A and B are shown apart, each in its own frame.
Chain A
Amino acid sequence: MTDTSLALDPAEMPSARRLPGDLAIWVFILAEMLAFAVFFASYAFARSKDVEMFNFYQQTLDRNAGAFNTLLLVTGSWFVVLAVQAAHRDDSRAAARRIGLGFLCGAGFLTVKVFEYAAKFGAGISLSTNTFYMFYISLTFFHFMHVILGMVILAILWVKTRQGAYGSRDAHGLESGAAYWHMVDLLWIVLFPLVYVMR
């Protein structure tokens, strides 16, 4: 009996509605998401002024790389939510291992993106080539920086988790960092279809 109730995530218990992580991280996440919302809308409205040009240059993007990167971020996010679940069970070893796997998914994302950028820059494409590439480069690079920040956070969480900093009594720090990592995933889930696929 006791075991079952301990294994339950506090969030899943009735009448115990709680926000995972710290309030401050959620305020920060919302601010970041607001910035991206403005960016996404700017892209969509800029496109409406020159649909043919946007559609033409969109075909030069590497959709396979974009889709593969979505799989990497989704899987990275999955590893990190499993890390949080392991921490709630006081299994720091499993939690740390999963954070490490999440970090590797992020590294995979950056690698694919670097090759993608190299191909584009190698073809002489830059921010000033046209409006489409201006948006493509700035939007994806802005997101790229967020993946890097997310990975820095995961690296810190990995070290702290290995030290046993998070457990069933308190995993706030881990939950906060995890929430940020999921935001990076969430943003790419909108960015990929918007910039690479929708036409």
Chain B
Amino acid sequence: MVQQLEPVDVVTIGAGWTGGIVAKELAQEEYQVVSLERGGERETENFFTVHDELGYALRYKLMQDLSKETITFRNTVDEPALPMRRYGAFLPGSGEGGAGVHWNGQTWRFLPYDFEIRSRTIDEYGEEKIPENMQLQDWGISYEELEPYFDQFEYTAGIAGEAGNVEGEIQEAGNPYEGPRSREYPLPPMVETPVLERFKETADDLGFEPFQAPSANLTESYTNPDGVQQGQCEYCGYCERFGCEWGAKASPITTVLPAAQETGNFELRTHADVVELLYDEEEDVVEGVRYVDRRTDEVYEQPADVVALTAYVLNNVRLLLLSGIGEPYDPETGEGVVGKNYCYQNFGASARGFFDDENWNLYMGAGALGASFDDLNGDNFDHSDLDFLHGGNVALNQTGDRPIANNPVPEGTPSWGSEFKAQSLEYYHSSISVSAQGAVLPFRENYLDLDPNYTDQYGQPLLRMTFDWREQDRNLVEHIGPQLEELMAEMGADRVDATTTLEGSFDITPYQSTHNTGGAIMGADPNESVVNNYLQCWDAHNLFIPGASAFAHNSGYNPTGTVGALAFRAAEGIQEYLDSPDMLADAES
């Protein structure tokens, strides 16, 4: 029997960064907010035994339980999709704080170019520059419009970095290519270690403009504008896939959720697994959500004036499809919107250096401890004679070389036996790598829909991912890869193993990045997008869908900074909607 609950003002589906930001913002405005989180509760005190590479990094303690729900995957539309049975390429989180607990903390603003990528490409190079199957779209919002929300996120989280552009003034130490920011970062940048220094000096010699990468690993103890205090990063080298026992990596559980709790207007319900949004198609509203309490298997319906769909990218898209909201995307016709423009991240270009006469303390580190340059990102370089668009941020990150996962050996070394052992011991302290975080642009046949065969624990269809690399991705790697090879050689490596081509199809087996994006994209035209620039759903006026699912393409950066900004934007939209329930943006087509 389904139990009906009392209505609330706002319900969020998930309590990660996006759900937490929406919950905090609205609870502080005296609205009653409930967050439904499918996983359990988490707090900093849970992580006093977190320095366990096997348990957290390789047995995925903080990740979604795939036996209950996973995705299916194929490279092309004419293949059968098969389930992702165990973890590989990406790692969706579960539990309070979501993937915002186990992230590395690399916090970027997308470039002004990104938000107007189609218009700017046409202005600069003409429409014929955009390949036929590339569904490049503007986001329906400009960087300038988003700037205050980026600022809000950075000051809420306590981001450490060096500004490169404050109100149009280029700053010597920072990234000269970034969009103008209204003020400095709240905290000074992370420390410069010997290998980061080497990277910066060499990059500078080669004519690039290196800087210290922005970080959510806090460089000082910090009290944010909500009066919530976080600790100082100790560079222990356990960030990605781990929680922080110091409370020194900004996450929903160290920032927005405690602030939301403090209002007295917020309730977090854990083990609450949302299975459907209750959609009234005629009224264009979502009346509430249906969820299962995983501890009791009781089913509840929670009505709400506003529903914020703030699950992970893949779950956002899946719940829309399961609930029949919006027209599902069809790759044959290019029509429909839900599931469209799925993108990922292309780490194809990289160079690993092996140094015979130097050793560094590489087991020390932090998830967002890195040096970086943006000269090969976005449209920061001339693409007139190039056969691809966009690019990627280049970085050397010192995240902490943990011992199971790091056994660097030169190419050609056997993968086992005495020679493998000798080489991997030889280079454990003397091998470093640089890589480009390549943007992935949308193509007609890369998309998300429901799988016709495989189901989750409740018998509902799994989400199906269809994705492969395109010429765009391969050409990008071929352009950037050799430059990384040269950079690493100039850094003094005795041997450089570089990847300068992107071979074969996208493979879901090796870990690459959890930067899945798209599927419920934002835009100005309801025929081309799922949400408007307030992240409000065109087909359900009281439904807001912040998150990387709204990205019209993926840039050459980690997504969380932009995700955070969109969530603050959505929170403002929700507040306006609650004051005056209506569409907040006019449709353009």
Do A and B belong to a common assembly? no
